[in-house]
Every structure is written in structure tokens, then in C-alpha cells.
């Protein structure tokens, strides 16, 4: 009898207490699908007398409602249970997701290395302004008034002013002047900084780059001191056994002046593309501080002498890491920069 069946299933549904999502699914399959019990009872309903229909129509509809409500309630119960369950399953002993660490720029790494070597020799670190006047960048350093380095082609001028133009410094030698003007010898300083030149940007030239200037002024400082200091420096930076050679050169602020080469750090002197098969690469300019420069800074050139040197950090870095394009240093390409992540900080 339809009525009995409805009563029996109603009881079953009322007592249904699912223990898992699978139970809920079984409930749905049993009662609610197209071949399920609800559908079956509605089919049977069609066969009963109209007398019975009048009574059972309402009962059957209520039964259908009951089955659907029960299913929905059970389903939500297990949906939230599933979420809780998932969280419990997370393995808290697993290592966390790593985050990306920044790293020092290769130029900073090399600057630091250079500075550390000289610090151990008792050099202090000094800095000066990037916006400089003509006096500190040129005149005090013995540049004649018509020297080509003062030219518009090289220098970024900021302000023309009678006798003392303001410009972006073209070298860190200006810091020597500021240091010497501010005191009396002995001076033993290393001066890192950014410099600017009005050059077209290419693989080999840039409108800004970095230098490290060195200055040592005291009584009886000789060219031998200069050679020994720089020899020690390259042994530290490029490794024991690196050879040096000095070639006569000219700078307005040093007399005598020299350029220093080292045995090629890549081929160790055997000859390669980097050293153009000569076995040597130039790394810095140096010389004995010109007495005129000492006097310009208020230092007695009869009593004191000194040496100075200047090097490009980009050049030193290129030689150390075999970098062939200067532009890489300022493009912020992480594929380039991340190669230095493992370097000691």
C-alpha cells in the first residue's frame, strides 16, 4: 500500500543521521534521483483511486519536501565538515614557501671589496657631493682653463656662473680636494662615488658610472709607496700572483702620472679576447699628487708629498665577472642581478 510505504520511508528519512558525505550521496541516490523512491511513489500515486488521491496527494508532497530538506541539510553539514577536515590535513611540519631575497648589486659588492682592502691598510672612507663646482672638479686639480675635459661634450653643466660653473662631477678626484681643504696631512682616504659624463650610452660607455679614488699624503711619501700599495691591492682583489705594470701617462693633477695594468684576470696573461691578446688589462690611473694641487688646497708642498689613484668600479667588476655590456648594471634585469645572490654580503 502506498500509504504504508510513505509512512515507512518517512520514518527512515527522519531517522537518517549521516556519518559522512558518502552517506549523504547514498541518500540522494536512494530517494531523489529519477529512479529513486520519491519518483517511484509518485508513479504509484498515478495508479491509486481518486478517493485515495485526495488523501494521499498532500501526504506524498509533504514526503517529497521532507526528503529534499533532509538532503540539503545533510549536504551543508558535510560541505563545511569537508573544509575543516582539509585544514586539519595540512602538514605543519613542512617547510614554508620561500620568499625571494634581494641581493647586493654587483657594483656594490665590488665597491665594498675594494673599500675593505684599503680599510685594512688604514685608509678612511670619505665622500663628496655629486653636484660640484668647477674649482673642486677642475681648477684645484690643476686643469688648465682650456682643458678639453671641461668641454660641454664631457661635462653635464647645471649652472653657468662666472668663474665657477656648477656641474655634475666628472670624477671622484674632486673629493681629494674637499678632503685636503678641510684639514692637514696625514691623509689616507678611499673615496667611492658616482660620476657623470656626457657620453652616448653603449656597451662600453655610459653617462654615469662609479669610481673609487685613493689619496695618501704625508711626509716622505714616494712612488715606491704608491707601487707597493697598489700591488698589495691587486693581490687581494684578483688573487696572489697577479702581476702589475706601470705605464707613463698624463693627468693634470699628478706628476709623474701612470696607468697601471694587471696581468689579465681571465687568461692569466696567456692572451684572450678581453685583453686583446696582450695578456694585460688597464685598471687604474695614478701618480704623485702634483705640488700645485697640494698648494691649491692649502698644503705645504715642500713638506708633504703624496700619491693618488682612481679606478672605475664598472671596469673592475667587468674584469672580475666577465661582464661585457655596461648597460646591464643599470637595467635592473633580475636575470642578471640574481646571478650575484650567492656572493658574500
Residue 191 contacts ligand DAH per CB under 6 A? no
Are 128 and 192 contacting, i.e. CB atoms less than 8 angstroms apart? no
- Cα 149 from Cα 131, distance rounded (Å): 16
Residue 305 contacts ligand DAH per CB under 6 A? no
Residue 260 contacts ligand DAH per CB under 6 A? no
What does the chain come to in residues? Answer: 345
**Shortest Cβ contact with ligand DAH: which residue?**
310
In the complex, the smallest distance separating the C-beta of residue 307 from ligand DAH, rounded to whole angstroms, is 7
Q: Which listed range, 78-86, 127-135, 218-226, 304-312, lies at the site for ligand DAH (CB under 6 A)?
A: 304-312
Of 118 and 309, which has the nearer Cβ to ligand DAH?
309
Are 133 and 165 contacting, i.e. CB atoms less than 8 angstroms apart? yes
Strand stretches in the chain, DSSP E: 124-125, 131-133, 157-159, 166-168, 187-196, 208-218, 244-251, 254-263, 280-289, 305-312
Q: Is 255 annotated as a binding residue?
A: yes
Nearest of 247, 242, 276 to residue 262 by alpha carbon: 242
- Cα 242 from Cα 35, distance rounded (Å): 90
Of 70 and 150, which has the nearer Cβ to ligand DAH?
150
Q: Which listed range, 24-32, 260-268, 280-288, 294-302, lies at the site for ligand DAH (CB under 6 A)?
A: 280-288
In the complex, the smallest distance separating the C-beta of residue 180 from ligand DAH, rounded to whole angstroms, is 12
Element holding 25 (H helix, E strand) = helix 21-31
Nearest of 333, 329, 332 to residue 317 by alpha carbon: 329
State which of residues 71, 187, 309, 329 lies at the interface with ligand DAH (CB under 6 A): 309
Q: 194: which residues sit within 8 A by CB, 6+ positions away?
A: 130, 208, 209, 210
Residue 251 contacts ligand DAH per CB under 6 A? yes
Residue 308 contacts ligand DAH per CB under 6 A? yes
Residue 138 contacts ligand DAH per CB under 6 A? no
Of 109 and 175, which has the nearer Cβ to ligand DAH?
175
Binding-site residues for Mg(2+), please? 255
Footprint on this chain of ligand DAH (rule: CB under 6 A): 171, 173, 213, 251, 254, 285-287, 308-310
Amino acid at each position: 500500500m502506498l500509504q504504508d510505504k510513505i509512512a515507512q520511508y518517512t520514518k527512515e528519512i527522519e531517522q537518517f543521521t549521516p556519518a559522512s558525505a558518502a552517506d549523504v550521496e547514498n541518500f540522494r541516490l536512494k530517494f531523489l534521483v529519477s529512479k529513486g523512491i520519491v519518483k517511484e511513489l509518485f508513479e504509484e500515486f498515478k495508479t491509486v483511486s481518486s478517493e485515495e488521491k485526495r488523501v494521499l496527494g498532500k501526504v506524498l508532497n509533504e514526503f517529497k519536501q521532507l526528503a529534499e530538506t533532509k538532503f540539503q541539510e545533510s549536504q551543508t553539514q558535510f560541505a563545511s565538515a569537508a573544509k575543516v577536515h582539509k585544514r586539519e590535513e595540512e602538514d605543519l611540519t613542512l617547510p614554508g614557501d620561500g620568499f625571494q631575497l634581494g641581493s647586493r648589486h654587483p657594483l656594490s659588492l665590488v665597491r665594498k671589496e675594494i673599500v675593505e682592502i684599503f680599510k685594512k691598510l688604514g685608509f678612511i672612507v670619505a665622500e663628496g657631493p655629486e653636484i660640484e663646482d668647477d674649482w673642486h672638479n677642475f681648477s684645484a686639480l690643476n686643469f688648465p682653463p682650456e682643458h678639453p675635459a671641461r668641454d660641454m661634450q664631457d661635462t653635464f653643466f647645471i649652472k653657468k656662473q662666472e668663474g665657477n660653473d656648477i656641474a655634475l662631477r666628472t670624477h671622484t678626484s674632486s673629493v681629494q680636494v674637499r678632503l685636503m681643504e678641510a684639514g692637514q696631512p696625514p691623509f689616507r682616504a678611499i673615496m667611492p662615488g658616482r660620476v657623470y659624463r656626457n657620453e652616448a650610452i653603449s656597451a662600453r660607455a655610459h653617462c654615469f658610472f662609479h669610481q673609487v679614488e685613493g689619496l695618501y699624503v704625508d711626509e716622505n711619501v714616494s712612488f715606491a709607496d704608491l707601487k707597493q700599495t697598489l700591488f698589495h691591492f691587486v693581490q687581494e682583489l684578483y688573487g696572489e700572483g697577479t702581476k702589475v705594470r706601470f705605464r707613463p701617462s698624463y693627468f693634470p693633477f699628478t706628476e709623474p702620472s701612470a696607468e697601471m695594468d694587471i696581468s689579465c684576470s681571465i687568461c692569466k696573461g696567456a692572451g684572450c679576447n678581453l685583453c686583446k691578446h696582450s695578456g694585460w688589462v688597464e685598471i687604474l690611473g695614478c701618480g704623485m699628487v702634483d705640488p700645485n694641487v697640494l698648494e691649491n688646497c692649502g698644503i705645504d708642498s715642500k713638506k708633504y708629498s703624496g700619491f693618488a689613484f682612481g679606478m672605475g668600479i664598472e671596469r673592475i667588476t667587468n674584469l672580475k665577472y666577465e661582464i661585457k655590456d655596461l648597460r646591464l648594471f643599470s637595467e635592473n634585469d633580475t636575470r642578471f642581478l640574481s646571478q650575484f645572490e650567492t656572493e658574500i654580503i
